[in-house]
A and B are shown apart, each in its own frame.
Chain A
């Protein structure tokens, strides 16, 4: 049972435009959500997180939105840059469990 889903395996966006990556979850106990960026043959690097007590968190070009009623979160990258091309993973955890469940990833390609 995939508790965290990223239904779009790939996304292409023009440089300078907005990239929107989506993530859905099924476990209502999840209360902390994270986004990671991963290049081939490297470990994922942390981008941004959000707690369930918020519905938006912003850090520079990256903004994460959380819709708890829909069990949906999204990552917005504005403006997109060629260096943003990578695989993006969302992850979720439930308070006190110390377990982080990851989605299957979305490959973002930013076209110059």
Chain B
């Protein structure tokens, strides 16, 4: 069966520091991969999605970037964090446009 893992689960970072959140999927090949963010009291905002290695689509202009160095690995990064980057970040996967499945989430607090 397929599983998805993301880490770290919790992160407290100072303003201006870099960020790296990692996500891996097991049990499937060539998944579509996604990064979502849930800001406090708000819905799920799609940040990036990828349909293949090196193929990244950005949905909103922001201080973040994403990379997909391997088929089942998706990384969310920032060179310099802002206070507004705080939130709950979710990695997700899908196959062939069907149901999307989420990881456990990573809570980022920028101080």
Contacts and interface: CB of A to CB of B under 8 A. Distances in A.
Nearest to A104: B43
The B contact surface, by secondary structure, is: strand
A70 B49 CA distance: 29
Nearest to B105: A43
Interface string B61-73: 0000000000000
Interface string A84-112: 00000101010111111111110000000
A43 B103 contact: yes
A36 B43 CA distance: 12
Interface residues of B, number: 24
A96 B104 CA distance: 26
A104 B36 CA distance: 13
A41 B100 contact: no
Q: How large is the interface on A (under 10, 10 to 19, 20 to 34, 35 or more residues)?
A: 20 to 34
Interface stretch (A11-19, A44-52, A75-83): A44-52
Contacts of A45: 102
Contact of B99 (A43, A46, A99): A46
B97 interface: yes
A66 to B, nearest CB: 16
A44 B107 contact: no
A63 B46 CA distance: 26
Given A43-B102, A43-B104, A45-B102, A100 B42 contact: no
Going nearest first, the 4 A-B pairs with the smallest beta carbon separation are A43-B102, A104-B43, A102-B44, A98-B32
7 contacts: A42-B104, A43-B102, A46-B101, A98-B97, A100-B34, A100-B92, A102-B36
